[in-house]
Structure 1
Amino acid sequence: MSPTHSLVLLLAIALLSICAQTSQASVTLENGVKSKVFLSPKITQHPGSVSNKYYYDIDFPKGHIAIKSFNAEVVNEEGKPIPLQETYLHHWVAIRYYQRKTIKEAKHNNNPSDLVIASNAGVCNSGLSQFFGLGSETRNTSTHVPDPYGIEVGNPHEVPIGYEEKWMFNIHAIDTRGTVDVMGCTQCRCNLYNVTKDENSQPLKPNYVGGLFCCYDGTQCKVKNGIKSGKRNVYMKYTIKWVDWSDSIIPVKVYIFDVTDPWQSTRSHDCLIEFDVKQCATGVASNDCTNTKRSNTSVPIGGDVVYGVAHLHSGGIGSALYGEDGRVICSSQAIYGEGNEAGNEAGYIVGMTTCYPKPGSIKINKDEVLTLESNYSSQKSHTGVMGLFYILVAESSKTLDYPDQIYQESKVSIIFWGISLLGLVMFTFVVVAYRRQWQSEGGYDSIAT
């Protein structure tokens, strides 16, 4: 091959490589934000069955990044959304942990020193360590973290020596197809599960009538006579959006508060996570049948609140977080469905309203005592309900021109596309010229027509 041919070929390869790399980079960006859809491991169900498993080392974006949103829903094997009337998503949580590098596979009974939970900034002593998580409301609840903020993950300086950062799911899904009492199954009423012991074979307390201790993994809610197996596989589809970490991003801490926190009386954050709502007395007007539960807690740091949302179960009305002076930090109301389709299921909470205060407008002071209030309808009794509240707090009040950064990234993406197009044109020109030169030098014999 002549030097001219070699030069032309190398130029063509280089241009093709530039085009391929540029195209790949542009596909992962949307206005400067990266996005990817993942699937959880397979969840096998049949009518009345309960799956409440932990899935370690789930697919998650790599590198030092800022999470901008984390959305999820339950789908079938064809990727179609499954309505809550069929599979009730009691809750899902994503937990960050550090795994010792010498451990090949993480298990729930690993040595505690091999798996270190990297919890959020919340105050509860046990449980509620997740960074992300919702329940039946997951399809219609915003999880977007506004600019210039982000949830920082993947910082190599935070990972202990000899460990690596990983993520796991706890997904609690109840198949209520063909059950004798659908709502009773979703509220984990013990009599419907025929359970008298918890998953550790410990007897339930005499007054425990429903909750997580009765609908653990592998339990079965009562179904109607004649119901066939109806075995099927479902998945939790989750979409994560993120940006690469930079100094222009203000990090936020994730706080989760629990209305069952006994701190006010015990000075200990031994959160119970769930509680029961008793039915209101006979003869009380329906508009007065509201169960209100409150708790007080203090936060170890101060800062700006940039996002807030509550997590409630069916029967929930709304929840609010108040400051020490009585000001409303965030109020989050339940949104109920009105139909049968996924995302609009009648009788179920299908979304929660969220708070996005103007940056710097809602502040929490260090060691300030906050009041959490959760309201449930008590026209009917409810077991195993929750009253959680998520907020994102930025310790820094500085204001950065983050939208300009996104705009600059978008312009870079446009430039990449321009280079790709120019490269493609040049590549085509080079190939055509090369073919003509090769043909004129007898490089190949033309096919006669």
Structure 2
Amino acid sequence: MVLLLAIVLLAMNSEARVTIDENGLKTMVSLSPKVTQHPGSVSNKYYYGIEFPKGHIAIKSFNAEVVDEAGNPVPLQETYLHHWIAVRYYQRIGTEGTNSNANFGFHKSDLIVAGNAGVCNHGLSQHFGLGSETRKTSTDIPDPYGIEVGNPLEVPFGYEEKWLLNIHAIDTQGTVDPMGCTECRCNLYNVTIDESVRHLNPNYVGGLYCCHDGEQCQVKNELESVERNLYLRYTVKWVDWSDSIVPVKIFIFDVTDTWQNTGSHDCIIEFDVEQSTANDYTSTRKTNFQFPTTGDIVYGVAHQHSGGIGSALYREDGRTICSSMPIYGNGNDAGDEAGYIVGMTTCYPKPGSMKMTKGEMITLESNYSTEKSHTGVMGLFYLLVAESSLESNYPVQAHEELKVPIFYWGVAVFGLAIGAAVLVAYRRRKRTEDGYQPIIAA
């Protein structure tokens, strides 16, 4: 039976399952290419031309989780999902690139990234992405809204629309310090150079530069190294595009954005949290920026790593736009792993009730616990904004907030992962010495 399930799942790589409900909502469940791991190993690859719905459509949700060859969810204590991201791009017709590589397999002119509407100058160009919180974070988009993709009028002449996945997974089985491995502490990986063979700053203690593709976290001496194949199982829900759908734009904000000091949206993406007993064990990081458009907030969620205690966006007058809190696990089962963030709470304002004005000054705040030090953490915030305003009494699809026991609530104040939020996409070229750079180039 297990073998049969494995064969079925593997077959799904070439032919995704699609179902349609009575309201016309379509659902596709598919698998990424296999991710081969062994204790302590790191995989951070890019998979181009993945299975994705075709045509002019409105995306209603995008969820994902790591599963084994039998289709069983894999707990974070075994494989930590730092982040997964899905990126839309245009590929020149007649060109071919690699399906699995640590770098782009295309000439720059053959590929155009169709990024989101976020303000960061480089990176964070994904449409979708989360991290360890992926199983218990809602991504549903209420009616009448949707993320518009597949519009033939938006595809450059001579190109076709495609999608890629970036999956960053760390196998922590048998490691001497599992949480340290997930935080990419350089001493555990014995790394002093990045993947571009550039020497790291001596003050760089941990982060993405130390756990790139192919690296190995320190394991116990007596451990036997056994390989296994895993997959990112992702579920996309959508409806065919129609005039009744109100399009939303995707904005991703980063608490490391330098705009308030430099006037430029250079987003460093990751930062460290020092251990301290001061300020009630709380480290608060803030940044200010001008809201980039006029419209209504439809959805919001934060992305944080372990140690996060909440994040929020505030208006000029101090009113909260959206606060998002981490949900920590309490056990050992997949989706309830103790010590890990297994979900983030979300915001669903009533249609037309949370109006933003272009140029309005906004504050993003991200809080972390300082009971322990943390490296390579993130403070991202995802928003969906409708530039076509609706009245607040517009009939809207019901959405039920997650009802999950929470291990650690902090001060209410976003997260890849994209742990992998976030997620996150980054530029490997044009690096700065200390920043966490984009995975992909525009």
Same fold (TM over 0.5): yes
The CA distance in 2 between the partners of 1:241 and 1:166, in whole Å, is 17
Contact 2:255–2:287 at 8 Å: present in 1 too?
yes
1:344-383 residue pairs with structure 2 within 5 A?
344-383=336-375
Report the TM-score when normalising by structure 2.
Answer: 0.83
Aligned length: 376
Structure 2: unaligned runs, 5 residues or longer: 1-17, 398-442
Q: Determine the C-alpha separation between the residues in 2 that align with 1:90 and 1:27.
A: 30
Aligned with 1:198: secondary structure? Answer: coil
The partner residue of 2:179 within 158, 183, 206 is 183
| Residue in structure 2 matching 1:322, options 286, 308, 314 | 314
Partner of 1:426: none
Partners of 2:136 and 2:343 within 8 A in 1: yes
> Are 1:259 and 1:294, in contact at CA under 8 Å, matched by a contact in 2?
yes
Which residue in the other structure is 1:270 paired with? 266
Percent identity reads: 71
Give the AA of the match of 1:268: S
Q: Which amino acid aligns with 2:341?
A: I
Instruction: Report whether the alignment pairs 1:143 with 2:135.
Output: no
Post-superposition CA distance 1:236-269 (Å, at most 9, x none): 0001000000000000000000000010010001
Separation in 2 of the partners of 1:299 and 1:166?
29
CA contact (8 A) 2:256 2:268 kept: yes
Q: Which structure has more helix as a fraction of its residues?
A: 1
Unaligned runs of 5+ in 1: 1-25, 405-449
- 1:113 partner SS: helix
Q: 1:336 aligns with which of 328, 344, 355?
A: 328
Among 228, 231, 253, the alignment partner of 1:232 is: 228
In the alignment, what sits opposite 2:385?
393
* Alpha-carbon contact 1:148-1:401 (below 8 Å) kept: no
Return the offset for 1:29. 2.6
Alpha-carbon distance, 1:27 to partner: 4.6
Letter in 1 for 2:325: Q
CA distance in 2, matches of 1:378, 1:91: 23
Deviates more, 1:200-209 or 1:292-301: 292-301
Paired amino acid for 2:143: D
Q: What does 1:79-98 correspond to in 2, within 5 Å?
A: 79-98=71-90
Give the aligned CA root-mean-square deviation in angstroms. 1.7
Out of 190, 193, 210, the position equivalent to 2:206 is 210
Alignment-derived partner of residue 292 in structure 1: 284
- Match of 1:261, SS? coil
Q: TM-score, normalised by structure 1?
A: 0.82
Deviation at 1:30, TM superposition (A): 4.6
CA distance in 2, matches of 1:109, 1:40: 18
Give the drift of 1:110.
Answer: 2.1
Partner of 2:401: none
Distance 1:211 1:164 in 2: 35
The answer as to 2:237 corresponding to 1:241 is: yes
Larger radius of gyration: 1
Q: Aligned to 1:157, which of 153, 156, 161?
A: 153
Correspondent of 1:310 among 302, 308, 314: 302
What pairs up with 1:57-206 in 2 under 5 angstroms?
57-106=49-98, 108-206=104-202
**Aligned counterparts of 2:290 and 2:89: Cα–Cα separation in 1:** 25
**What residue identity is the alignment partner of 2:137?**
T
Q: What CA distance in whole angstroms lies between the structure 2 residues aligned with 1:370 and 1:293?
A: 14
TM-superposed deviation, 1:109: 4.4
Higher mean alpha-carbon deviation, 107-116 vs 123-132, is at 107-116
